[in-house]
């Protein structure tokens, strides 16, 4: 009897100890923000989900964080190389570590100037080449990345390379190119060797031979003999083979079957502080509709273009910020908020396309462009009797912290489930040079774009940005 009681007590003690250990372990998991089960199983959450009506989340890519999204991440590992755009899982997986490395590098004072040749070598070693769509003022860029350090020596930055340092240390080198002067500096930054190796080993997967840097082909310097007509910057990728490109379909969500969508019109007017019921409305010959109130007008065009204009600079829409940075974030919030209100279930795939350089004033002009299938959409809407030409998704004019003019092509894109045969980069350049006098030009960037010219299906093409700032699309 006594033996049985002792066994029972021992069993109780073991059970109690097991429960205490289990509770400590599970509490630790919660404190460390880990999943309680490897598969993320949560009985209560699943039951709650079953009985809670699902709400469509407002999807948007345009936030303070995403305006600092690179255009491409190019990962090189000896003979392998891959290019990732913002819509890929691999991009999302690498981005937090990369942003942290860039932020630390920009904050650091431990910089060493390096040569163009060292930059070219860094591109072809085990590296991650980070390319932004536009140049950012480095001080402003630090703010966007979440740093509040004020650095007096600000410079426009757009391209970075992260390379391994040496086998023994947990540091990487971040190479930063000054976009205005082309000067390059190297900054050692602490990053776990394991993390860097894992990114390079996992994400560089295609043969290096099919996508080569201009510097690997020596297209970045003038050849002897005078045969070279064009110089291509070292970091520009040359795609050697033809590719099959997906086509995308352009959707005009504001005008269909001969009439404007009233909900969209009301939603847009609300954003500009107008009310559809008590605002004067005029329908023009081309079916565009103009709403006029005391201090502003909003015009809706059948092709999807909306235009807001205040009567004078003091009557614009206040953004809240007192400086350039505040104004910039105000613009981002405005575009984001309007889209979320008008098209709550459609993702807004857009990014800034004009350089983000602090001119020391809260008066500036900002442009944004849509992205589809990882490529920028080049809108090319010609001037009509009803509106000026439109070459961006969004054009915002800010004067003294107020939006005085706002233009947006209200469109979104979805896969057309069709594809076309693309051309190699050199074939595209052949076409460009055959049609334009580019002799002696320096090409700063060469990238795929979709051309939006009014046709419902958009084909992919190559775009070239030259040293004099011109962008030419090769159709």
Partner 1 sequence: MKRFIKTLIALSLTAVLGLCPLTGFAASESITYDYASSCDWLVTVINPETLSSTTSSRTFVISAVAVEGSVITVYSLNPETNLYEKIYVDGVPLETTVGASGLYAQQITLKDGTNNLMVYASNGVDDQAIRLDITLLEETFLEKLWFVPLDLVNLLQ
User: What residues between 108 and 147 interact with partner 1 by CB under 8 A?
Assistant: 117-118, 121-122, 125-126
d(CA 271, CA 380): 26
Q: Is 208 in the site for partner 1 (CB under 8 A)?
A: yes
Tell me what percent of the chain is helix, strand and coil, each rounded to the nearest 5: 30, 35, 35
Q: Of 266 and 427, which has the nearer Cβ to partner 1? A: 427
Q: Least Å distance between CB 126 and partner 1?
A: 5
Handedness of CA 199, 201, 207, 212 (dihedral sign): positive
Q: Is 426 in the site for partner 1 (CB under 8 A)?
A: yes
Q: Least Å distance between CB 443 and partner 1?
A: 10
First to last CA, the chain: 94
Q: Cβ contacts of residue 431 below 8 Å, gap of 6+?
A: 423, 474
Among 433, 453, 466, 473, binds partner 1 (CB under 8 A): 433
Nearest to 334 by CA among 303, 366, 374: 366
101-106-107 Cα angle (round to 5) = 100
Phi, psi of 29 (to 5 degrees): -60, -45
Among 61, 66, 104, 173, binds partner 1 (CB under 8 A): 173
User: What residues between 236 and 275 interact with partner 1 by CB under 8 A?
Assistant: 238, 240-241
Q: Of 401 and 422, which has the nearer Cβ to partner 1? A: 422
Among 79, 110, 284, 286, binds partner 1 (CB under 8 A): 79
Q: Least Å distance between CB 354 and partner 1?
A: 29
Q: Of 221 and 414, which has the nearer Cβ to partner 1? A: 221
Among 2, 4, 46, 167, binds partner 1 (CB under 8 A): 167
Q: Least Å distance between CB 48 and partner 1?
A: 50
Q: Measuring CA to CA, how many Å separate 430 from each of 30, 211, 335, 423, 424? A: 59, 18, 39, 10, 10
Q: Residues binding partner 1: what is the number (CB under 8 A)? A: 41
Q: Of 204 and 274, which has the nearer Cβ to partner 1? A: 204
Query: Which token pair is 278?
Result: 């008590």
Q: Of 48 and 475, which has the nearer Cβ to partner 1? A: 475
Number of Cβ within a 10 Å radius of residue 293: 16
Q: Least Å distance between CB 114 and partner 1?
A: 9
Does residue 412 contact residue 253 with C-beta atoms inside 8 Å? yes
Q: Least Å distance between CB 35 and partner 1?
A: 35
Count CA within 13 A, CB hemisphere, residue 150: 1
Query: Which token pair is 217?
Result: 């082909």
Q: Of 238 and 403, which has the nearer Cβ to partner 1? A: 238
Q: Least Å distance between CB 169 and partner 1?
A: 10
Q: Of 80 and 151, which has the nearer Cβ to partner 1? A: 80
The beta-strand segments (E) located in 358-459 are 364-372, 375-379, 394-399, 402-409, 412-421, 442-452, 457-458
Q: Is 358 in the site for partner 1 (CB under 8 A)?
A: no
Q: Least Å distance between CB 421 and partner 1?
A: 16
Q: Is 207 in the site for partner 1 (CB under 8 A)?
A: yes
Outline where 109-242 has alpha helix (H).
Answer: 116-124, 138-144, 193-203
Radius of gyration, alpha carbons of the chain: 27
What is the contact surface with partner 1 in residues (CB under 8 A)?
Answer: 78-79, 117-118, 121-122, 125-126, 163-167, 173, 207-210, 212, 216-219, 223-225, 227-230, 238, 240-241, 426-427, 429-434
């Amino acid at each position: 009897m006594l033996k049985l009681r002792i066994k029972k007590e021992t069993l109780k003690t073991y059970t109690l100890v097991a429960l205490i250990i289990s509770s400590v372990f599970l509490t630790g998991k919660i404190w460390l923000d880990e999943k309680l089960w490897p598969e993320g199983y949560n009985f209560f959450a699943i039951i709650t989900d079953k009985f809670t009506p699902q709400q469509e989340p407002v999807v948007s890519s345009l936030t303070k964080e995403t305006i600092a999204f690179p255009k491409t991440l190019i990962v090189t590992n000896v003979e392998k190389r891959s290019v990732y755009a913002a819509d890929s899982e691999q991009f999302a997986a690498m981005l937090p570590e990369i942003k942290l490395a860039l932020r630390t590098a920009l904050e650091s004072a431990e910089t060493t100037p390096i040569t163009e040749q060292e930059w070219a070598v860094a591109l072809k070693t085990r590296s991650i080449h980070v390319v932004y769509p536009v140049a950012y003022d480095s001080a402003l860029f630090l703010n966007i990345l979440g740093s509040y350090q004020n650095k007096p020596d600000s410079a426009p930055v757009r391209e970075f390379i992260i390379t391994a340092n040496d086998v023994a240390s947990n540091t990487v080198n971040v190479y930063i190119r000054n976009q205005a002067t082309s000067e390059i500096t190297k900054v050692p930054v602490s990053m776990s060797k394991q993390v860097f190796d894992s990114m390079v080993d996992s994400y560089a997967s295609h043969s290096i031979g099919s996508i080569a840097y201009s510097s690997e082909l020596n297209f970045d310097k003038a050849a002897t003999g005078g045969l070279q007509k064009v110089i291509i910057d070292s970091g520009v990728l040359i795609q050697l083979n033809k590719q099959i490109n997906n086509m995308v379909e352009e959707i005009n969500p504001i005008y269909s079957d001969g009439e404007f969508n009233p909900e969209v019109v009301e939603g847009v007017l609300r954003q500009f502080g107008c009310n559809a019921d008590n605002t004067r409305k005029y329908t023009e010959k081309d079916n565009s509709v103009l709403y006029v109130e005391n201090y502003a007008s909003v015009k809706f065009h059948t092709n999807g273009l909306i235009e807001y204009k205040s009567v004078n600079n003091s009557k614009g829409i206040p953004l809240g910020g007192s400086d350039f940075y505040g104004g910039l974030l105000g613009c981002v919030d405005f575009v984001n908020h309007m889209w979320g209100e008008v098209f709550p279930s459609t993702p807004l795939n857009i990014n800034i396309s004009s350089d983000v350089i602090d001119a020391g004033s809260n008066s500036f002009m900002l442009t944004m462009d849509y992205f589809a299938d990882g490529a920028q959409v080049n809108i090319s809407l010609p001037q009509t009797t009803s509106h000026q030409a439109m070459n961006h998704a969004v054009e915002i004019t800010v004067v003294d912290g107020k939006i005085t003019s706002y233009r947006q092509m209200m469109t979104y894109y979805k896969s057309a489930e069709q594809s076309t045969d693309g051309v190699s980069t050199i074939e595209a350049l052949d076409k460009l040079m055959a049609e334009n006098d580019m002799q002696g030009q320096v090409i700063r960037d060469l990238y795929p774009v979709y051309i939006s010219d009014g046709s419902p299906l958009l084909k992919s093409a190559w775009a070239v940005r030259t040293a004099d700032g011109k962008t030419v699309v090769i159709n």
